[in-house]
Structure 1
């Protein structure tokens, strides 16, 4: 029987690589592994100046993906803004996130849209209007977490179904006896709030260190912060690490600290629990709160001092830390790609 043709659509900022890119590649791989003829369509994305967003939306809207080389494309799966502006009669959107600076980040220091700028408000209103139209053209809308689904309904009154997926290296995670370090994983970006991890070390036993795995524009500032806080000798910046190195870092960590601002989903939480490590997150961290249960498989904190106190507790009670990690594993062990692919391809399987 002829394979069904499926296109995964996403947007990528050149020279940046992170969770969104891994997510798109994993989806393509898992579709192919289950018998679909699949390609990943990535278009470069530029978000500035603000009015550029309209052009980005129109670019996707003008692409014809109904067929390729005379053969019908059976399904398109857009993942993130503005890829879901693509037109197709069988568009099933699996939403990673919309353009957050005009939604939940609007009016905060994380948005480049000024509340008091009339031109900015006009652009924002236009993007929201066409955003809703494009999403509602989908035959079905999934979200990659409850947080993303709730956000979509809060701002756009559009219903979606949360659909969880496992991380890239599912099946490879393991655990070993912990060493005395807290692990941070991800982009060095303001939204990830890695600065809280550095500040928390001041409130920890001096035998506790932090390993910060990732790259990004904030590295110099974070290094300066570590010096200012007097903990530079206890903070290691690894830069980019391979998958094998990262899995090993998870396996030997005392715990993982992940305090982002309203994260969409967050592989770090899932990867930590698959490695049987407790997770410390913040009360406004979004997606991680769908898995972290305070005092059971991790801790939910609000200040650097509170994070430091909980890290100290885990350091002094390593058996409890191990038990919390096992609880975390039980919470995520059932997340699978089989369920994801079944749900996304329902329209071409029946």
Structure 2
């Protein structure tokens, strides 16, 4: 099947909301005491994760800062034959507010005179992951034409923004590489930031994550076959790899060393972080990585991989955790190092906590609106 029939140039600008001047006409770097802010986000129906929490937290932070804010989100589809439908829908929306903050693909196709983009990520399956196993785009001519067209549309829509922020330098680097656009990394606190707490350095390493290929939870299971110190692993989360992980635990006779906890509610999640010796989080080329910051706020060091993307903007080898080669053997070695020197593990966790504690939603709101 060929590329979607969306020939021609990228969508052109049009009427973009009611304001005709900057949100604060009095001073360049000040924000009016109260503005109306619409946060725009896209969501695949029945799928919820970090991006959805992020959108809700932006709205709440705006409201707590005294602004009127609401979330507007539309369903989207990632398949290449429907890839351009949702962007066109966003172009047609009347968004009556002083400021629009657009987030993930394709919400930044929204039109508004005062559109600010805080880019979570673009459609990665059409960019850096075009040939990944989980993408339905490959290197065939039809897929490459979809990528070319999407690049043109994305660039046009993002250029309309007053300013483009990104969640990390990793996302900003992708934006520069594929679209030739600059993005300013703007860090923010993770979910549960106000509830996470320190606790005893326990006898297990913890990993809360979606059980999907790009998160690589199988490497954690396999790593535990090489751990001899008696430290266990607790892997929490749901996803398409759940059955494979359970089979791996059984095949390697790791039932007493690996707990697949499934979904855990927030209160239990906080407790699991607090009681861990450390946290393993070694996804592939992560955009930001809430798990890292949650671990730090619980005073736990993080074991990660050299290709973990945005995680590496926080994990400094030997300072706030360990950066490994990402193999099961490398992860196991890092677990053993934590177990062998708990005082150092505690010190690395405290340094991570100090760094993560500097993040503030009030600073995020001020930066977004001053742009």
| Alignment TM-score, normalising by the size of structure 2 | 0.89
State the partner residue of 1:217. 240
The counterpart of 1:20, out of the listed 45, 51, 61, is 51
Task: Give the equivalent residue in structure 2 for 1:133.
Answer: 156
In the alignment, the residues of structure 1 paired with residue 72 and residue 334 of structure 2 have an alpha-carbon distance, to the nearest angstrom, of: 44
SS for the counterpart of 1:210 is: strand
Which residue of the other structure, out of 52, 73, 84, is the alignment partner of 1:42?
73
Q: Pick from 258, 263, 269: which aligns with 1:246?
A: 269
Q: How do 1:1-350 residues align onto structure 2 when only pairs under 5 Å count?
A: 3-48=34-79, 50-65=80-95, 67=96, 73-115=97-139, 117-205=140-228, 207-302=230-325, 303-346=327-370
Question: Quick check: 1:97–1:148 contact (8 Å CA) kept in 2?
Answer: yes
| Structure 2 residue runs without a partner (length 5+) | 1-31
For the Cα contact (< 8 Å) 1:264–1:286, is it kept in 2? yes
Distance in 2 (CA, whole Å) between partners of 1:3 and 1:331 is: 31
**Aligned CA-pair RMSD:** 1.4
SS of 2:51's equivalent in the other structure is helix
What is the CA–CA distance in structure 2 between the aligned matches of 1:262 and 1:341, rounded to whole Å? 27
1:265 counterpart SS class = coil
Q: Write out the 4+ residue segments of structure 1 that deviate beyond 4 Å after TM superposition.
A: none
Q: Is the CA contact (8 Å cut-off) linking 2:118 and 2:166 kept in structure 1?
A: yes
Does the CA contact (< 8 Å) of 2:104 and 2:120 recur in 1?
yes
SS at match of 2:73: strand
**In 1: Cα distance, 2:229 partner to 2:134 partner:** 33
Q: Return the offset for 1:2.
A: 8.6
- Greater displacement, 90-99 / 242-251: 242-251
How far apart are the structure 2 equivalents of 1:206 and 1:311? 9
TM-score, normalised to structure 1, is 0.94
Is the partner of 2:84 in helix, strand or coil? helix
Please identify, of 55-64 and 270-279, the stretch whose mean Cα deviation from structure 2 is larger. Answer: 55-64
Tell me how many residue pairs correspond in the alignment.
Answer: 339
Deviations 1:281-325 (A, max 9, x none): 110000110011111111111111011011011112111111111
CA distance in 2, matches of 1:215, 1:110: 17
* C-alpha contact (below 8 Å) 1:51/1:123 kept by paired residues: no
Q: Report the CA distance between 1:230 and its aligned residue.
A: 2.4
Deviations along 1:8-48, one digit per CA (max 9) or x if unpaired, are 01011122221101100000001011111111011112112
